[in-house]
Chains A and B, each alone.
Chain A
Amino acid sequence: AQSVAQPEDQVNVAEGNPLTVKCTYSVSGNPYLFWYVQYPNRGLQFLLKYITGDNLVKGSYGFEAEFNKSQTSFHLKKPSALVSDSALYFCAVREKSFGSNYQLIWGAGTKLIIKP
């Protein structure tokens, strides 16, 4: 079964420290992986994606993510956290459903809290 797991409901980090938000997945074949961020009362904003190539993907707002095929993980990282990074983060994986149609499978989300 296709699935995405975000094992931490909440991550607390002090401002200026590095942050990691974890994501593991289970899909058949090669995955396409995405990270989105949602600020309070807003829609989801695209951060970055992994399709193929370099395992380290750089995205918006200084975020990056590392694809690890052997561990089936796609953890989101940032070297130095900002208070403004506090938000809800979603990991998603593209699943091949039928024909050429694809559907994103979503994690439950991780609330990131950056403390001054």
Chain B
Amino acid sequence: DAGVTQSPTHLIKTRGQQVTLRCSPKSGHDTVSWYQQALGQGPQFIFQYYEEEERQRGNFPDRFSGHQYPNYSSELNVNALLLGDSALYLCASSLELSGNTIYFGEGSWLTVV
């Protein structure tokens, strides 16, 4: 049973560039959430996707956008990268919107230089 998988694991981008991070949910899960975790801090909720729609959003600017595909996989896009966007980006999946246990991937480390 494959868990949550994310790609790439590490990447370096230049300020002002755009980045796309990818996530495949745990088998059988239909809801995907994205979190940003800065070094030494807890995860910050970015948004959640269900049925290919953004259903909830945290306090992040419009530079952060996402997509969910019919197979439940998801992408996180960040435009006009800032140095402060450097963080671990975590994808989490769950079944339904009821908030059942969410399972995390290993994350994508983004460094903006």
Interface residues of A (CB under 8 A from B): 32, 34, 36, 41-46, 49, 90, 94, 97-98, 100-104, 106-109
Contacts and interface: CB of A to CB of B under 8 A. Distances in A.
A100 B96 CA distance: 10
B105 A108 contact: no
B97 A101 contact: yes
Given A43-B90, A43-B107, A44-B43, A104 B101 contact: no
B99 A90 contact: no
A90 B97 contact: no
A1 to B, nearest CB: 14
B99 A104 contact: yes
Contacts, number: 51
Contact of B48 (A32, A94, A103, A107): A103
Given A43-B104, A43-B105, A97-B56, A102 B42 contact: no
Interface of B: 4, 41-43, 45, 48, 55-56, 58, 90, 92, 97-99, 101-107, 109
Contacts of A43: 4, 90, 104-107
A46 B106 contact: no
A94 B41 CA distance: 19
Majority-rule SS of B interface residues: loop
Contacts of B45: 103-104
Contact of B99 (A44, A46, A102, A108): A102
B56 A103 contact: yes
Majority-rule SS of A interface residues: strand
6 contacts: A42-B107, A44-B104, A49-B101, A94-B99, A102-B97, A102-B98
A47 B4 CA distance: 16
A100 B45 CA distance: 17
Contacts of A49: 101
Contact of A32 (B42, B92, B99, B109): B99
